[in-house]
Amino acid sequence: MGKLNVNLCGIELSNPIIPASGTFGYGYEFAELYDINELGTFSFKGTTKDPRFGNPTPRIAECTAGMINAVGLQNPGVEKVITEELPKLKACFHKPVMANVSGFSVEDYAYTCAKLDKEEQVGWLEVNVSCPNVHGGGMSFGTQPEAAAEVTRAVKAVTTKPVIIKLSPNVTDIVSIAKACEDAGADGISLINTLLGMRINLRTRKPVIANKMGGFSGSAIFPVAVRMVYQVANAVKIPVVGMGGVSSAEDVIEMMLAGATAVEVGAANLVNPYICRDIVRDLPEVMAKYRINSLEEIIGGAK
């Protein structure tokens, strides 16, 4: 059987499959369905400094080959994540977990990351810079290289574990932002987050989602994700975690050929809760089909 293991920022994964933040909760819900230790790791629900109820409903709209969501980072806040969610997670998942962090100011990011950095279960900090900057006119931190770099430097100053910056695709030049994060000390880059989308109800003539617009995800965005992963992986020297519309072992191979060291699976978890387990189990057969002996050997293999 081919070798599935990869090394992500100095931590060995038994395979590259990672359920994406916001689609896998804190793990224990899925642990009732199968042994989630089959996964490489997973990125738990986006965590903020303070509790958040999220956006008003309706928050989800269906699309052809995808969905739009505007959940609004609903979570209990970092203190409760540490005292209530992580102990339950630890009982069912025995590998390092990826902590996904969001914030609305540089200070928010630093505070939350510093707290989670001290937790034994946390292996990586995945820092989502797609949040609106409350001190910067509401523009997302991830839309400007300087703002993304500022968050990166602030988080690196208060942490010891690998910091992976998760980038938004809703920009003109994602490469310049990735390079700014690398220059500021990021240990890895994670991309892509959701595209911005919208649906309108023909009967009411109003937007389907209360927030009007939301994050568009699902298999329809896969070619965009592959393109952006390829561009960034060829521009930086740090590992890239690829995601965006991944729903099969073949998609994983394609994403790794584009340059991803590990691959996150998002919206597909909401359609089939067993999808990540099934992809892990399908990988050896797909590797054999394409004469791949080791996944690490194909990273960035598309030239």
**Which of 14, 55, 27, 73 lies closest to 194 in space, CA to CA?**
73
- For 48, 109, 116, 119, the CA distances from 78, given in Å and listed in that order, are 6, 11, 8, 11
Catalytic residue from among 9, 131, 181, 276 = 131
Active site residue 276: no
> Which residues carry out catalysis?
131
